[in-house]
Chains A and B, each alone.
Chain A
Amino acid sequence: MSAPRAVLDALHATIVGQDEVCEGLVLAVVAGGHVLLEGAPGVAKTLACRALAAAVGGVFRRVQFTPDLLPSDVTGTRIFDQKSGEFTTVLGPLFANVVLADEINRAPAKVQSALLEGMQERRATIGPQTHDLPTPFLVLATMNPYDAEGTYPLPHAQLDRFLTKLVVAYPSLEEERTIVDRFGAGEPPLLADVVTLDDVRRWQREAHAVFVDAKVRDYAVALVRASREADLVVHGASPRAALALVALARARAYLEGRAFATPDDVRDIAPSVLRHRLSYDDRIALGDRDPEEVVRRIVAAVRAP
């Protein structure tokens, strides 16, 4: 029986640095939620997703989101079979255990909706039939904060469906040197099938049983409520954010081998849960203020129990 730390080690074997991103990906697997990764081109967003998919095993699909993509390219379609004279269903790339939605904001809203409905309901409708998505089912979506021209920003209601948003930063000088040394010769190695899908299902069950004290729960709720009253924030986080905080705090405790969540668990994962759930006023949009600073202030303002 493997532990989630095996997946974390597999990610570290491929990705140089990016400790928070690697841990965030494993936490999302354990908590059974979807991940949005944001970062400049070339910072290993896609590589991190591929490394995770390889380590977890199961079926992996990648969809490059483009402006001409159609919903059926994601969910699947019905094709007329001339031999049998009937329509047969062809399942789309959504029917996989790990789906990489690359540059999700480059596809129109209709395609994003098809993906996001699947994420929420864990099923997809093709023609007259509704099909359940496999378990575990994890969507890893990447987004580039630059080159905004020709993109379709995700509405807040849809961003809320991502359990966590991880920011993939540029590597440090030393990490960048290591990247050149390690991967200069060719493709980076991916450790495949480090754990099984049964392992993942078991983690999810066990993590769900991790104890959360009322004080820790209240701390999570206080953070979410504080986001609604924060300076520069027009709309704060929804109650779904409080659920996400508790789910990820449980996952983090499980990853650390603890039977209970602590205030540290909540505080550490709070920025990744809150940052994509807040809508800011114009000063943020104009670039006068840093949204990450707003999130940091919210977290710092709430006393831990």
Chain B
Amino acid sequence: MTSLAASAQGYRRLHITALSMRVDHRSVQVEQVFHVAIHVHVTETVANLDELVIPDVGVLEPMGDERAVSHATGGTDVVETLTLAAAQPGVVTLRPAYLDAIDPKSGKALRFSSNSLRIVVVTARAAGASDRSPGIARTFLLVFGVVIGGVSFLIAIVLVVLLVQSRRRAGVVVAAPVVVAPPPGPPVRSPREDVEAALRRYRTSPANGTLHELRAALFVAAGASPGGTLRDALAETSNGALRRALTAAEGAAFGPEAMRDAASTDLIAATERWLA
């Protein structure tokens, strides 16, 4: 995490709980397609995270870039998947992805960064030789790794010096890197709790949408999929109270307007009996 002194007005207040970068193959052949996934989780519900800056892929050939945004009870997950291929052998280091936002805890503008990635690209021949003669390949990779490691170390020292100098100029304070934790999944609720929550919403606001939410929750509680019909749900459960609630939901959902009030009362009563 790096605090940002200037131009913080444009940042959003985001509670970032995860920012990580993963690759599906750490060692790839030339022209082999591989994927890098950047995952961000924020506790807020947001439509998109335009602030997310993905690293420059350098010599790698970009073959695709897809961003998926999903919303759950615990906030928003954004997963950006880069499809890449290497044109030449060597070691490629992807710098961290980052995003700038105001940390709700401290109220300060911070730069949240992911981990970096190191990918080894070998020629198809080297990979084939590796298959034929693992000893030679291992030696080659060892020498290659030592050389590249040394070069990387030197580059890292130069980068650190440049970074320190630039921060001195900008008056920026270096903060500890963000701890990249696996995304906390949405709190797991039992189907019964889902029905309770849906019933609460329906009682508060007895509209068509909340009614169908309650009906869907009852379906799941019975063990049927939401795309099924009443018969599917009834076939899944022998619980008499739940069956009555499911049947009452059908009347409330599809019955004529004149019957809706009575059907709604039946549904609430039947669901409460099952929950009790």
Residues of chain A at the chain B interface (Cβ within 8 Å): 211, 213, 215-216, 259-264, 267, 303-305
Q: Is the CB of A213 within 8 A of B228?
A: no
**Which residues of chain A are within 8 angstroms of B255 by Cβ–Cβ distance?**
211, 213, 259-260
Closest to A260 in B: B255
Within 8 A of A (CB), among B220-243: 226-231
Give the CA-CA distance A264 to B230 in the complex, in Å. 7
Interface: B256 (CB within 8 A): yes
Tell yes or no: B164 within 8 A of A by CB: no
Contact of A263 among B229, B251, B259 (CB under 8 A): B229
Whole-angstrom CA separation of A262 from B255 in the bound complex:
8
Q: Is residue B250 contacting chain A, with contact meaning CB distance below 8 A?
A: yes
Q: How far is the CB of A299 from chain B (nearest CB, A)?
A: 11
Q: How large is the interface on B (under 10, 10 to 19, 20 to 34, 35 or more residues)?
A: 10 to 19
Q: Which of A213, A259, A260, A263 contacts B230 (CB 8 A)?
A: A263
B227 touches A213 (CB 8 A): no
CB distance from A110 to the nearest CB of B (A): 44
B: which residues have CB within 8 A of A? 212, 226-231, 250-251, 253-256, 259
The answer on a CB contact under 8 Å between B229 and A304 is yes
30 contacts between A and B (CB under 8 A): A211-B255, A213-B253, A213-B254, A213-B255, A215-B253, A215-B254, A216-B254, A259-B255, A259-B256, A259-B259, A260-B251, A260-B254, A260-B255, A260-B256, A260-B259, A261-B254, A262-B229, A262-B230, A262-B250, A262-B254, A263-B229, A263-B230, A263-B254, A264-B230, A267-B229, A303-B226, A304-B227, A304-B229, A305-B212, A305-B253
Closest A-B pairs by Cβ, 3 of them: A303-B227, A211-B256, A213-B254
Bound together, the chains give a CA A213 to CA B257 distance in angstroms of 9
Q: How far is the CB of A247 from chain B (nearest CB, A)?
A: 17
Q: Residue on A with the closest CB to B263?
A: A260
In the complex, which of the residues A211, A213, A259, A264 contacts B229, with contact meaning CB atoms closer than 8 Å?
A264
Number of A-B contacts (CB under 8 A): 36
Chain A residues within 8 Å of B226, by CB = 303
Do B228 and A304 have beta carbons less than 8 Å apart?
yes
C-alpha spacing A263/B228, complex, angstroms:
9
In the complex, A213 Cα to B256 Cα: how many Å? 7
Bound complex: CA A264 to CA B250 (Å): 10
Question: How far is it, in angstroms, between the C-alpha of A216 and the C-alpha of B253 when the chains are bound?
Answer: 10
Starting from the known contacts A213-B254, A259-B256, A303-B226, 7 additional A-B residue pairs (CB-CB under 8 Å) come to A213-B255, A260-B255, A260-B259, A263-B229, A264-B231, A267-B229, A304-B228
Nearest Cβ distance between residue A178 and chain B, in whole angstroms? 27
A-chain residues with CB within 8 Å of residue B230 when the two chains form the complex: 262-264
Residues of B within 8 A of A303 (CB): 226-227
Q: Which residues of B contact A305 (CB under 8 A)?
A: 212, 253
Nearest A-chain residue to B225, judged by Cβ: A303
Closest to A300 in B: B227
Per the bound structure, the CA–CA distance linking A304 and B230 in Å amounts to: 10
CB distance from A260 to the nearest CB of B (A): 5
Smallest CB-CB separation from A261: which chain B residue? B254
Complexed CA–CA distance, A261 and B255 (Å): 8
Report Cα–Cα, A303/B250, bound state, in Å: 16
- Chain B residue numbers with a CB within 8 Å of A264 are 229-231
